[in-house]
């Protein structure tokens, strides 16, 4: 039993950090949230609001990385236990009430879908309630080559640790 | 001592925090994208196994299935003994069996849809779509094979390793399903498909693979202990789930490239210049 609990605990301790990237161009006044697609020596191609776009690297004035902090292990453990307990409660209740007619089956499926959807939204609300860590990279005075190197680092492993302004 | 070493190894593998940026771009799938993709998935699947690259995998599945069919009764006894030794109740085995019956997949995919729609997260929506796509595509092939092979399930077996009635009468099949539907396992293919989709799309969550593989293993043992499947029903089920999940994932995302172009190429992209103007970028590299 001890081993089972330890393994479950270890499995739940694996953590991760999702991140979003925003850029500010030289001729603009507001940051745009982007999903990078392709980086060349001169251009960064990206997706923003479902549209494909691109920007010259020399025109990028600043890049902001927003990292969502991970929730504590205890919260994760409670959420995971609750999530799967709810699933098995519904499943066992369903099999007790079986067999079903086809319309009743539609109802059963709807219960699983709606509960799952609600669980996804609640999970997102809890996870997104933790403070976000913001890192800005000031590109305004940098040569293009250096901007490219930092962008490449951000896109490949996100460990760019220099030229931070905040 | 060995148990402690295993625990330490698992801790070492899993406790490290991962800083991962998405290496893939995800577009929002349509509500019926998963259904529209299935015919193409079938086409890709029939091409893939017979390539040189996958020859070893195909051979391994064939040989392992053959060996398992030969020893199926002994493997079933071993699984029941394991259940007794670990003190698993009938209810525990029932729960393990239902890891792969589709309800869990529906529940998890719905959660991804809820999260994805509420937070505008295309990766979550794509993952849900890919789970449905791979489960349905693999399920179609599984059903086809079941209706062709007609193998008895362990709990109704009339021979030690279950009788096979190839190309059974389909009316008999639907009147006495357990007498014909053991091979291959659809449960194992659906849980495998879900685990592969999630582990491919969320590589930064290091627990998905070990937890997912554990779930696949428990599902396999649970189905043997409840008498619905033989051990040899699993390899092809796993292969189908894995292959269709890989195909669905490949279709559902685009890799972000970060290379300097050295090979000849031609590209046209919209060019973002400032807030009020845009243009077209045409690039031709020799």
pLDDT in tens, A49-81: 656 778 888 888 888 887 766 678 788 888 889
Q: Is A12 exposed, middle or buried (0-12, 13-18, 19+ CB in 10 A)?
A: buried
Residue A162 pLDDT > 80: no
- Which of A5, A16, A57 is the best substitution to test chain B (most B C-beta atoms within 10 A)? A16
Three-class HEC string of B45-109: HHHHHHCHHHHHHHHHHHHHHHHHHHHHHHHHHHHHHHHHHCCCCHHHHHHHHHHHCCHHHHHHH
Chain B, nearest residue to A16 by Cα: B18
Looking at residue B274, its pLDDT comes to: 52
Given this model, what pLDDT does residue B280 score? 64
Q: Measured between alpha carbons, how far apart are the two ends of chain A, in Å? A: 47
pLDDT at A142 over 50: yes
CB A147 within 8 A of CB A139: yes
Mean pLDDT (whole number) for A9-35: 69
Residues in chain B within 8 Å Cβ distance of A112: 103, 106-107, 110
Q: Cβ contacts (< 8 Å) between B106 and chain A: which residues?
A: 109, 112-113, 116
Domain-by-domain residue ranges, chain B? 20-258
Query: What is the pLDDT, as a whole number, of residue A92?
Result: 93
Whether A129 and chain B come into contact, CB under 8 Å, resolves to no
* Whole-Å CA distances, B276 to A27, A29, A53, B272: 10, 12, 14, 9
CA B45, CA B240: separation in Å to the nearest integer? 9
Distance from C-alpha of B66 to C-alpha of B243, rounded to nearest angstrom = 20
pLDDT of residue B103: 94
- What is the predicted pLDDT for the residue at B52? 80
Of A112-116, A157-161, B43-47, B258-262, where does the model show the most confidence? A112-116
Chain B positions touching A7 (Cβ under 8 A) are 7, 10
> So what's the pLDDT on residue A71?
74
Is the CB of B102 inside 8 Å of chain A's CB atoms?
A: no
Q: Which letter does DSSP use for residue B280 in this model?
A: E
Please indicate if any CB of chain B lies within 8 Å of the CB of A110.
no
pLDDT for B22: 53
**Complex-level ipTM beyond the 0.90 threshold:** no
Q: What is the pLDDT of residue A143?
A: 85
Question: What is the pLDDT, as a whole number, of residue A140?
Answer: 81
Is the model more confident about B42 or about A17? B42
pLDDT of residue B26: 86
B255 CB within 8 Å of a chain A CB: no
**pLDDT at position B6:** 54
Ordered per-residue pLDDT tens for chain B, 286 residues: 555 555 555 544 444 443 344 568 888 899 999 999 999 999 988 887 777 888 888 899 999 999 999 999 999 999 999 999 999 999 999 999 999 989 999 999 999 999 999 988 889 999 999 999 999 999 999 999 999 999 999 999 999 999 999 999 999 999 999 999 999 999 999 999 999 999 999 988 888 999 999 999 999 999 999 999 999 999 999 999 999 999 999 998 887 765 544 445 565 656 555 555 566 656 555 4
CA distance B14 to A9: 11
pLDDT at B16: 40
Contact B270 A59 (CB under 8 A): no
pTM over the 0.80 mark: no
Q: What is the DSSP letter of B181?
A: B
d(CA A47, CA A36): 6
List of chain B residues whose C-beta atoms are within 8 Å of the C-beta of residue A157: 19, 21
Would you place residue A30 in the very low, low, confident or very high pLDDT band (cuts 50, 70, 90)?
confident
Average pLDDT, chain A: 78
Residue of higher predicted confidence among A36 and B80: B80
pLDDT at B47: 81
Which residues of A, range 35-54, sit inside 8 Å of B by Cβ?
A: 35-41, 43, 45, 47, 50-54
Q: Do B107 and A115 touch (CB under 8 A)?
A: yes
More confident residue, A120 or A164: A120
Give the residue extent of every domain in chain A.
2-69+131-156, 73-127
């Amino acid at each position: 039993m001890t081993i089972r609990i330890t393994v479950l605990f270890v499995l739940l301790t694996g953590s991760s950090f999702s991140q979003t990237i925003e850029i500010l161009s030289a001729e603009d006044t507001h940051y745009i949230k982007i999903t990078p697609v392709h980086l060349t020596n001169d251009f960064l191609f990206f997706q923003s609001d479902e549209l494909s776009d691109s920007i010259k690297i020399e025109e990028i004035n600043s890049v902001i990385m927003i990292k969502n902090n991970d929730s504590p292990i205890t919260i994760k453990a409670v959420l995971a236990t609750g999530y799967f307990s709810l699933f098995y409660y519904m499943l066992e209740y369903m099999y007790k009430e079986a067999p079903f007619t086809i319309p009743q089956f539609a109802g059963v499926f709807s219960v699983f879908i709606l509960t799952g959807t609600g669980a996804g939204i609640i999970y997102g609300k809890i996870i997104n309630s933790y403070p976000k860590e913001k890192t800005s990279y000031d590109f305004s005075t940098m040569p293009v080559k250096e901007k490219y190197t930092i962008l490449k680092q951000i896109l490949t492993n996100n460990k760019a640790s220099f030229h931070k302004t905040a | 001592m060995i148990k402690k070493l295993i625990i330490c190894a698992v801790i070492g593998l899993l406790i490290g925090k991962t800083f991962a940026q998405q290496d893939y771009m995800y577009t929002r799938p349509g509500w019926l994208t998963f259904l529209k993709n299935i015919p193409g998935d079938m086409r890709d699947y029939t091409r893939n196994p017979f390539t040189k690259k996958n020859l070893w995998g195909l051979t391994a599945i064939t040989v392992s299935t053959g060996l398992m069919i030969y020893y199926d009764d002994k493997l079933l006894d071993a699984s029941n003994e394991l259940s007794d030794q670990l003190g698993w109740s009938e209810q525990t085995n029932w729960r393990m069996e239902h890891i792969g019956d589709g309800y869990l997949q529906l529940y998890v995919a719905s959660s991804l849809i809820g999260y994805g729609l509420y937070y505008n997260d295309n990766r979550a929506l794509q993952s849900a779509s890919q789970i449905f796509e791979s489960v349905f595509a693999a399920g179609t092939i599984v059903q086809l094979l079941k209706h062709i092979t007609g193998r008895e399930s362990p709990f109704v077996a009339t021979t030690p390793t279950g009788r096979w009635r190839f190309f059974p009468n389909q009316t008999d099949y639907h009147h006495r399903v357990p007498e014909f539907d053991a091979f291959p396992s659809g449960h194992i293919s659906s849980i495998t498909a879900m685990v592969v989709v999630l582990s491919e799309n969320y590589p930064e969550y290091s627990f998905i693979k070990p937890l997912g593989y554990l779930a696949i293993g428990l599902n396999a043992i649970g189905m043997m202990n409840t008498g619905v499947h033989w051990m040899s029903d699993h390899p092809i089920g796993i292969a189908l789930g894995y292959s269709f999940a890989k195909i669905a994932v490949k279709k559902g995302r685009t890799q972000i490239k970060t290379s300097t172009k050295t090979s000849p190429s031609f590209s046209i992209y919209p060019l973002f210049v400032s807030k009020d103007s845009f243009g077209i970028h045409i690039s031709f590299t020799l």
